Amino acid sequence: MWRPVPLLVATGLLCVLAQGGGTKPKPNLILILLDDQDHVLGGMDPYPNIQRLLGRDGTNFSNFFVNTPVCCPSRAELMGGRYGHNNLVDTLRSSDSGGLHGCMWANVTGPYFVQNQLGTYLSKLGYTNGLFGKYMNVPACSCPVEAGCREMSKGGQAVPPGWDRWFALCNMGKYFTNTYNDDGRKVSTGELPQDYMTAVIGNRTIAWLDKVAGARQPFFAYIAPHAPHLADAQFPYVTQAAPWYAGATGHATAPRTPNWNVPNVGAHPLIAKQPKMDDLSIAWSDALYRSRVESMMSVDDLVTDVFDLLGRKGVLDNTVVLLTSDHGYALGQQARPSGKFNVYENDIRVPMLIRGPGIARGARVEAVSGLVDIAPTLVELAGGDPERMELDGRSLVPFLAGKPPAKWRNVYPIEYWSLGNVDRGAPESPECNPSEGADCKKSWCTCHYHRLDGENNTYLAARYIGEEGDFLLAYFYADRTASGDLPRVFEGLSPVFAEIYDLKTDPWQMQNLYPEMEHERPGLFKRLRRVLFAMNRCSGRSCRRAEIEDATAYGPTGGWYDRKDATHPFRSIIDVLYFAAMGPPGGGRNFITPRIIGHMYLVGFPLLDDDNMMQIFNTILEWKFRADNYPGDVAGLSKKMVQATLEIYKNTPGPRAKVLDRHGH
């Protein structure tokens, strides 16, 4: 296929696995981030080069999620290693002019974010860093000097600190006639084939890699093509392919998944009230699908060109390449002809492929992970210690090295603050008024309009994958609190709607099981709520405590603490008083807690149902049998012994101890 210039485009993220041992050089790191690339609707399947170079020869993280499924907050999550609630602007209220504060509520121009992102992290570790393509939705040509940005050329535009090469897109939504911040100087492109945005970004990337690859100093390349994002958020609502790939998909149609063009009437109103797509909307959605795939063909070329250059320069064996997306996308699911913004798998699950020295080929990691883990992973690959930094995520390097941590999260938090009404309409009806609603009886044109974001689409959700199942738990909240702002912290607020999906039996999320499932599995969903609300207010190390549900204890202190943390006030505790709902089976003292002899101690549990009591007492009994070297035939009876004891206890007449709340009241 003819191309006017050598083309380089990549999808996702590229990084290199760190080499252990004294004099070995640090790995080069390449991060390729796609824009709006789905995983659920086929992901990387249509792209042979990505499949070959990263899928077949790398490791696939199959349960990889985003915290906030919209561009700017999600990119901030990746760039800083922090969840969305730690990147929010001070005022969560629309401005007088009708616009949002920050970048979709994310504060990406404030001093803290500007000075704590991948560029500064890796610069301090000795890397030369280059960024190519889309940085954030706010113009990359206007980084404020007062926040710590610096001028790379006299009188030019400032760029964030930590970057040695900066070629960032200044405008969004166009594939030709773009403006870029080229090391502080504004440069513009035209409408010729070589001006196609992915080609421009790719060729600037390759030129820089050709200079830095093989140098003594390791490099980090952040490659962020705009594909497959819409060419513009208005008519005709399609992506633009490179001229040499236009029409390459023929008459392909968007995947007809089981929930395609099926409004979920049991979901929150934004989704429940979706009109079914008519023939006009279906034709438009299919055209969007074809243009998305065709735009990604150039990205597939870029991946090949990057790997070819790394091979020619002799650095491929010391380079890790990682590919992911800022969020997913829907094309007809729940009758949404396009879009993101929502809590479902199409929106929150993204591809994550990584290849490099020491990384298993063709492997699959099912650990619950996401964009918040990218920054700590790159820091560790670069020789840093992410545990000493205030990052919310955790490094994935142990999984790449084949040594997964003993404890890892089984919940990923999803947080979203509504952007207000976001509408899409069929191309032939741009004059229609979406405010009329979705009632086709009122106006024919409303059938072509679909609201993708809007009222009460502010939510907090938990994506759980663990021994007890595969669930999504979501709470939706009013868009305004009493102060007039969007809610920051959700605990204590009353949701206006809730949804639960069992993805093992309902992978396309078509049947809302709330509240029946919550009543059937009270222990699980109480724990999920507890972890979720803790993660919604966590920061840094407290996120790693909150995300491990077995180590989440609520009381006046708010959680568990690291015993090695000599600065924490828990070390000043001299005595402790425990309140209990029941004593150990059989009652009496024991050698495990000898202080019980001198005081009346009670231990409180938030819920003492049969499952919890079985887990607690069976664990204690198994430990006792192991510690005292009981024969195997005796140790194997622990579960039956606990069951029998609990049956006797429950069937014994007499008063029952009151189960206390989490604060012992």
Average the pLDDT over each of 222-226, 263-267, 370-374, 517-521 and give the range with the smallest value. Answer: 517-521
- Preceding amide of 25 cis, omega within 30: no
Owner of token pair 């000599």 = 566
pLDDT at residue 1 is higher than 50: no
pLDDT recorded at residue 331: 96
pLDDT recorded at residue 551: 38
Query: Number of helices (H) and strands (E), helices first, in the chain?
Result: 16, 20
Nearest Cα to 301, choosing from 552, 10, 67, 520?
10
Torsion of CA 233, 236, 238, 242, to 10 degrees: -110
Contact residues for 502 (Cβ-Cβ < 8 A; gap 6+): 469, 470, 471, 513, 517
Average the pLDDT over each of 167-181, 438-452, 456-470, 524-538 and give the range with the smallest value. Answer: 438-452
pLDDT at residue 454 is higher than 50: yes
pLDDT recorded at residue 482: 67
Binning pLDDT at 50, 70 and 90, where does residue 86 land? very high
b/e per residue 140-156 (b: at least 16 CB within 10 A): bbebeeebbbeebeeee
Binning pLDDT at 50, 70 and 90, where does residue 426 land? low
| Cα 492 to Cα 497: distance, rounded to the nearest angstrom | 15
pLDDT recorded at residue 510: 97
- The residue-averaged pLDDT of 531-560 equals 69
Active-site residue, 170 included: no
Among the options 71, 149, 445, 447, which is catalytic?
71
Domain boundaries, the chain: 28-407, 422-551, 575-651
pLDDT at residue 165 is higher than 60: yes
Binning pLDDT at 50, 70 and 90, where does residue 425 land? low
- Mean of all residue pLDDT scores within the chain: 83
Q: What is the DSSP string of 94-158?
A: --TTSPPSTBTTB--SSHHHHHSSHHHHHHTTT-EEEEEE---SS-TT---GGGT-EESSTTS-E
Q: For the segment 360-380, what is each residue's pLDDT rounded down to a tens digit?
A: 999 999 999 999 999 999 999
When comparing pLDDT for 605 and 56, which is higher?
56
Give the angle subtended at the CA of 23 by the CAs of 20 and 27, to the nearest 5°. Answer: 55
- The residue-averaged pLDDT of 563-579 equals 47
pLDDT recorded at residue 18: 39
| Cα 85 to Cα 106: distance, rounded to the nearest angstrom | 9
When comparing pLDDT for 439 and 226, which is higher?
226
pLDDT at residue 455 is higher than 60: yes
Tell me the one-letter amino acid at 345: E
Q: For the segment 47-57, what is each residue's pLDDT rounded down to a tens digit?
A: 999 999 999 99
pLDDT recorded at residue 578: 46
Q: What does the block give as tokens for 74? A: 């999600």
- The residue-averaged pLDDT of 42-46 equals 94
CATH superfamily entry for domain 28-407: Alkaline Phosphatase, subunit A (3.40.720.10)
Binning pLDDT at 50, 70 and 90, where does residue 637 land? confident
Average the pLDDT over each of 90-99, 113-122, 270-279, 637-646 and give the range with the smallest value. Answer: 90-99
pLDDT recorded at residue 310: 98
Binning pLDDT at 50, 70 and 90, where does residue 624 land? confident
CA distances from 4 to 133, 215, 521 (A): 20, 29, 60
Binning pLDDT at 50, 70 and 90, where does residue 447 land? low
What pTM, to 2 d.p., does this model score? Answer: 0.79
pLDDT at residue 245 is higher than 90: yes
Q: For residue 657, which phi and psi values (nearest 5 degrees)?
A: -70, 145
- The residue-averaged pLDDT of 584-591 equals 46
Q: For the segment 336-347, what is each residue's pLDDT rounded down to a tens digit?
A: 999 999 999 999
Nearest Cα to 115, choosing from 73, 80, 91, 72?
80
Q: 231 with 40: CB under 8 angstroms?
A: no
